[in-house]
Structure 1
């Protein structure tokens, strides 16, 4: 932990046991320029007392499941809304405190990276703001709290690209496995905070809307509970994402490019509760990788005539829905395969870093790679049923051909968050099979790192 070095309580630069144990052997040449003092200063976050943070790190996060979100939100009363607000009021700073502590246990030379330092400051600012919110007793209190949540969500849209750049710049300063563990923990916690924050914002919007009351004529309550879409249908999501990705690819491909068709098979009527933006992101990334592989193979002369279709098979079991995405794009290159799920290593790290500098904000949703003149997914998907707009919907988009190298590892984080899984099988020279498993019942708790877990890193 970062603590003052002085005996009298005077504030000095922060130090960590990790720093003393690890960086002592580093020569000045081995320390990045950003970590070297300039006129007596570094980019390290400022000193802060540890006692307040210690109190919050001692608290356990209370995990939730999709079913709990659904049951709680269906019978929405003022008392339940205020109960939700107070749950979020405690849960957000608790989860932030654990992640701040994770960053404090990193080597000092890593924390001084300007990108990671910025994320640390954003987290600490949010922690200090949210921990000071008093018990929410009225709807007016809740409205003020929701405003703070919304502002925080918007400020934190810079977190993913900043973290990714920081991890890539520090890839030689930490063990790659430890760095990936840190990144997975941070991203999974980020998803968890956005889920509970967005859910409460959506419930507040629902409570304030005319159709919330029993005599309203809307059927929205049968489709959505907050951000949870009760009847996610894999076929509809796949078709919608496929159209989006094809339109995206057509903007950067030569005019004579032939794109593969979509072949859907299996249990196409299967439905399950899920957060739609999560599923869209995963499916969108899988389809985008498959289409890009086929287009590149076609450009190299590896395909003659009409390209083979992308086959998507939906399998419904008693407790799971499994979605398989198969392509014949030639498989994953051998030099990339060992780093498929890595954030910090790989043969194209320098190019990824350059590309990330062009993405100031990123919320990891399908909306970020959308062609602007296409209809939004919810405009064509939910049979004229409106969807709650979240703070993830209006984002700065990145160029469609800009590769960040984060799609698959981030998709796996999303899949595993609700106790699912994502696996890839590559047949070199032929193609790839991706298997996405989703809990069908919505009764699996979010998968969290309950206490600060980076002490051994």
Structure 2
């Protein structure tokens, strides 16, 4: 697409035109041949801009005034077959001393002809969203720092024999890490193509990140327990607010399909989700330690000896993986028994075999999510394949003979591998190439379902009756975060084998790629 940004003062023609991005696809839509800004004083005090193009297209318009600190309403009128007139009904109040306002045009294949943003953008720094995109030197000193990588074993060792001094030290460590990790993600937003920045869903997430960054940055150094608990309350409030982030990102990228390079969006989403996971791990671990400290009157692990405590904060040091598989499998079976009106106990059987007594040090929520998403796919397609092949013979799907799903667990000295095998018909080759992406043409049909979801924690108690297209990519992110991986092998017409590989000793640091900048891949 062709995108122009113009700056103008009173009575002038458009002061500057800058081509931000151009693609071959935009040439077929129509070439912009003329763009004129008219800010002469008129009786109605409207400000008009004239955009002449060579063919009919739709226009996405954003306008912001640094002076009024507002986004203004814009409407598009067609005066001639090839001319659009854009009129802003609230004047910019330009004068000789005014700061130039910004008007931006984007030639798109999708979007409504007009978009209303007639509202004040409220932030802790009392500046507009657009200003924060281009005036954010405060980020620089945090961007220059790297996140301090941690391991699960470090979290466990620090959480045992916890004292007040260690808890306060943990509070300040978490606070400092949040500054750095949020700053990197804000900078990633700023290096997305401009069209992503003008998307209202992406803009809302950006604004939420900035507000949290600003609030954390201004929170004073923790020196006592009372301040620590105030900080925990701040964390809980922010986590609740940020439960909207994944649905908002899903809606945002759904509107960018076909307009932005898919690889760039995938890299952006992987970093967003992985560092979101990293921040929540730190915050939830600290909150759990703080709760335990109070519940045990200042002493942690009083029931078991310090070296034998199984759960420290959010970390389970001796999680039996087969037990987790059975629990996730039972939940998946109940979901699809309800969905397809199948009698309890007659859905596809889940058989666990191999090293069933294997144990792993992990955050339960993370491993649950991976196993749950993979089993959900296997059970769903096993049922659908049976209905497709034999459903005409009966109205009672409970009578169908479903193929079992085999889960094999293998343990080495440092790794656990879980293979989940089904006979659900496999994945068509055209779809198989898109299973790890967030925003392909195939995934677009599912992304719109984020409209139905207000909150999403990326845990197994999320809304599972709606297909979103994020399950496998997010499972891979969860595994990659602690140095593991998820791989899918399909035999079209037969079934799928999914391999989940996870470090089991807790001695692998967070994925070192989590703070890579998008600048390097653009």
Partner of 1:315: 410
Partner of 2:155: 69
Q: Is 1:244 the counterpart of 2:324 in the alignment? A: no
User: 1:328 touches 1:431 (CA, 8 Å); kept in 2?
Assistant: yes
**Larger RCO: Structure 1 or Structure 2 (Cα < 8 Å, ≥ 6 residues apart)?**
1
CA separation in 2, counterparts of 1:249 and 1:113? 36
Out of 319, 326, 332, the position equivalent to 2:427 is: 332
Q: Is 1:46 the counterpart of 2:136 in the alignment? A: no
Partner of 1:388: none
Question: What is the 5 A alignment of 1:276-355?
Answer: 276-301=364-389, 305-350=400-445, 352-355=446-449
In structure 2, stretches of 5+ residues that fail to align are 8-15, 33-52, 64-71, 75-87, 89-102, 104-115, 118-127, 392-398
Give the drift of 1:213.
2.9
What SS does the aligned partner of 1:339 have?
A: coil
Q: Taking structure 2 as the reference length, what is the TM-score of the superposition?
A: 0.74
RMSD: 2.9
User: 2:179 touches 2:213 (CA, 8 Å); kept in 1?
Assistant: yes
Question: What is the 5 A alignment of 1:53-202?
Answer: 53-202=139-288
User: 2:390 touches 2:400 (CA, 8 Å); kept in 1?
Assistant: no
Partner of 2:504: 440
The CA deviation string for residues 359-389 of structure 1, in whole angstroms up to 9 with x for no partner, is: 1110110111xxxxxxxxxxxxxxxxxxxxx
In structure 1, stretches of 5+ residues that fail to align are 7-14, 369-397
Q: Which structure shows the higher helix fraction?
A: 1
Partner of 2:484: 420
Instruction: State the aligned residue count.
Output: 416
What SS does the aligned partner of 2:433 have?
A: helix
Q: Is 1:361 the counterpart of 2:361 in the alignment? A: no
Give the drift of 1:212.
6.1
| Change in CA separation of 1:444 and 1:225 when aligned onto 2, cut-off 3 Å | same
| Change in CA separation of 1:456 and 1:412 when aligned onto 2, cut-off 3 Å | closer
What SS does the aligned partner of 1:33 have?
A: strand
CA separation in 2, counterparts of 1:280 and 1:294? 21
The CA deviation string for residues 234-279 of structure 1, in whole angstroms up to 9 with x for no partner, is: 1000000000011111111034694211111111111111000011
Asked which structure has the greater CA Rg, the reply is 2
Give the drift of 1:22.
4.7
Give the drift of 1:188.
0.5
User: 1:182 touches 1:454 (CA, 8 Å); kept in 2?
Assistant: no
Deviates more, 1:324-333 or 1:339-348: 339-348
Q: Taking structure 1 as the reference length, what is the TM-score of the superposition?
A: 0.84
